[in-house]
Chain A
Amino acid sequence: MKLLKAIIRPNKVDEVKDALAKLNISGMTVTEVRGHGKQKGHTAVYRGKEYNVSLLPKMQIEVVVANTAADDAIRAIVEAARTGEIGDGRVFVLPVEGSYRIRTGEREV
């Protein structure tokens, strides 16, 4: 199993969710996060005064998929979240050793 951790633009969440749903991937965690990558924020101006926008609002989507489904899922996320502009985000892929269903205690494979 793989944990896919995608940091994306806030307005792309619905599209990513829909793309994953098409692959029958529905369980996910969505978190509001702030950060910056290469984008490093930018300078906004309000009333003639500049202020630095260093941490940008992003959404983080976490989803666990089977090893075999990982590539498709990554591709779906990347395609759905892409605008082509700087600040589109990242997908991280992490190995998952195991998972347990809390309600039943059973181990999932």
Chain B
Amino acid sequence: MGNDEARRRVGREILEGRTGVAALDRYTEYVDAELRRLHGGAGAPPGGVALIALGGYGRRHLCPYSDIDVLVLFDGEPDEPYLRRVLHPLWDAGFVVGHQIREAGDLVQLEADNPEFLLALCDARLVAGDAALFARMRESFAVPSTYACVLESLQALIDARYAQFGGTLYQLEPDVKDAPGGLRDIAAARTIAAITDPALLQRGEEAVRLAEAEELLLTMRALLHLERRRNDNVLAHELQERLAERLNYPGKGPRQRVEALMADYFSRARAVARILDRLRRTAPAAVGLNLGRTRDGVRFIDRDRAIAEPETWLAAFQAALDGDAAVSDQALDLIRQHAPRFRGADFLPSAGHRAALLRFLEPRPGLYARLSEMHDCGLLGRLIPPFRAIASRVVRDFYHKYTVDEHTLQTVRNLERLSQRPRFASLLGEVDAPELLVLALLLHDVGKSGDGDHAQRSAAMAEEVLDMLQLVEPAREAVLFLIQHHLRMSQVAFRRDTEDPEVVREFAALVGTEQRLRLLCLMTLADVEAVSPDTLTKWKEELLWRLYVDTYNHLTTQYGDELIERSQSAAREYVAKRPPDLDAAEVAAFLEGLPRRYLQVVDRRTVYHHVRLARDIRPDEVHLRIEPVEGAWELTVVTLDKPMLFANICGVLSSFGMDILRGHAMTNPNGLVLDIFQFVDAERFLALNRGAADAVMHAIEEVVAGRSTAADRLRGREAGLRRRPVSRITPIVRVDGEASRKYTVVDIIAPDELGLLYRISRAISELGCQIDLVLIGTEGDKAIDVFHLTKSGAKLSADDQQALTAHLQQLLEAQA
């Protein structure tokens, strides 16, 4: 059968009473068979190919003179001979072919500037060729970002098309394809529903209306094509008469029959336009894979898929959080019904899912509400199994006003509302991984499900969750520490004499680092406030803040007075548990005299690594290591102290454009220097250049050996290093001769800038001061550095202090 015969058959079948839809399906079948035949005879190209029907042809609604829209998708280079052997015979047979040729690799790039093509892809159907290739294409297409783009372009295309018709469907000579209420509207409605929420078109009545309209419009279009023998879709006056007669519209004369036809047409077109209008207004915006957002919140688009994929549920809550929306009842009901079938690990099958859960727990407005929904529908207790043990748990005491689960969730809410307490809010901004704080809060009271010391029980129960999350040190230890000691800070702040330095010293020894202190302080605040609406009084807040400040000061200004001694149990433990390549004396000698703080900020493996770096160090030598750490790089330096050393190292890093974020510089009484710098390599010098780390290390070796200086390296570049400060922070220099027994402590807060640390430390060294210890910190655009200094082995004299303050002030103000 030739193409003309196949076309005529469409008309014949319609007039014999077959529906238009069925007749076009048969015609589509005919064209499919032709394509398969040509494909079969064309010889497979080397990389595989798929012949894919697009648009109306993809929907199997191919009208007799419509363009055959096909996508020829190659898994590799397009194969010319194949294309010739498939396309040329089609043209010869009188088909108008709208062909697109793509390589599979190209489809990764979303063709956002080609909305018609994107839209046509929504109806893609494999006709012949590589099914796996086709499946891959579908998969890469079915992502939220593509859907969002399709939806947006579709809305624009509809608007433009309506404008061409004066925005009305009541055309005397309507275009059954393009006019408002026409076939394009039906396709648009189906597409919107398919990519947002299929349920939108599952209302019985509307689905029937749409199908009826489609039947009439396709029948009309098929007959129009056959009448005009071309792709003409305008129902012109003379054709109205012809069609009315052929389709047996009732009426005494032609005029009445035309009126009946057009009345039928308008009623169908009106229904189509209304349905499309409703869909355009109510369709959920795609907010994630299988997730849409409507007025009642975030919902699953495909219910069956959601039921089968519990690992996608968390994304609904994340999308709601991101979009400041709720999770819809549809989604919550689905989860409530199906959650009991799954266990924690089912929700977190991959590292990506586990990271997503932690990301979800970052404190921000709306997290309490989302966690409450999650708890209410049973998901929270599944994701974090110990939480189930405290659901509606009542523990009677004098203070608590809520059940344990609600108390727990309210602690998270209190973190969200921290902006009402600016000084504590600033602490939250300085916490490296605030999601760990929320995780600890969620677990801090799970031990109240049983008797005994609930903090210990909670910590024991938390292990299971941390295992499931595969949380490693130091994050894991931090969470367990917070849970175990969550009552400690309030006990000390409210019940003990914090004016007694010994009380503060003990508490500082427990928390160990500023980072943990911040976490515990925020945890305490959130926990106390969640006991009842009036538990956290201004009075308690003040006591808590003071303990925080006293402890912070202790940790940053007095730690130089507390040194590791050989006989100390911690030091003995490090010696005892050393790896086989280290000997006892070497470990003990390395540790002795470093600040005790060292063992709290560095993990065990790293300590041993430092011991190795320190082995056989000689004057003017330096042992170095550069390695990537999360989001930054870390440089470890071991050498023997000499004047200007710290400034020189900072200067070398600056000369490579490295921005120093945080770090510790330590010295032991024998002059061994251990400096750890974390820095950002904004220009990606280290990441992109082989041998770059060696170049940096070589430059440091040169300055330590005295063969060059940082000043040489920076000469001429220094002016370029000074970026215009965007910050309005007023620099602060505070020199304190009292806090530490051994050192003069200098606090410096200044706008963070490349090279800042170099300039400060150089200025300090130029005044003849020795830099013994440094804490380097950056919080936002603020550099916070604490230097512990001596001059000729003693604290600075009053005159020296004054000179130093003035010098640094001048330096920082000149900079600002």
A→B interface (CB under 8 Å): 9-12, 14, 32-34, 44-49, 53, 57, 83, 85, 87
Contacts and interface: CB of A to CB of B under 8 A. Distances in A.
B18 interface: no
A87 B749 CA distance: 32
B496 A11 contact: yes
A5 B542 CA distance: 23
Given A48-B734, A49-B734, 8 more contacts: A11-B496, A11-B497, A45-B734, A48-B732, A49-B749, A57-B539, A57-B543, A87-B499
14 contacts: A34-B539, A44-B546, A45-B549, A45-B553, A45-B734, A45-B736, A47-B732, A47-B747, A47-B749, A53-B546, A57-B539, A57-B542, A83-B497, A87-B499
B542 A34 contact: yes
B546 A32 contact: no
Nearest to A51: B549
Given A32-B539, A48-B749, A14 B497 contact: no
B685 interface: no
A48 B553 contact: no
Nearest to A87: B499
A47 B497 CA distance: 23
A87 B500 CA distance: 13
**Most chain B CB neighbours (cut-off 10 Å) among A9, A11, A33, A44:** A11
Given A32-B537, A32-B539, A57-B543, A48 B747 contact: yes
A22 to B, nearest CB: 20
A42 to B, nearest CB: 10
Given A46-B549, A48-B748, A49-B732, A14 B542 contact: no
A33 B542 CA distance: 11
B506 to A, nearest CB: 14
Nearest to A59: B539
Interface string B209-245: 0000000000000000000000000000000000000
B504 to A, nearest CB: 12
Interface residues of B, number: 25
A47 B552 CA distance: 9
Contacts of A44: 546, 549-550
B733 interface: yes
A45 B733 CA distance: 12
Interface string B484-495: 000000000011
Contacts of B552: 46
A89 B498 CA distance: 16
B538 interface: yes
Contacts of A45: 549, 553, 734, 736
Contacts of B537: 32
B421 to A, nearest CB: 15
A83 B500 CA distance: 10
A85 B500 CA distance: 10
B784 interface: yes
B495 A14 contact: yes
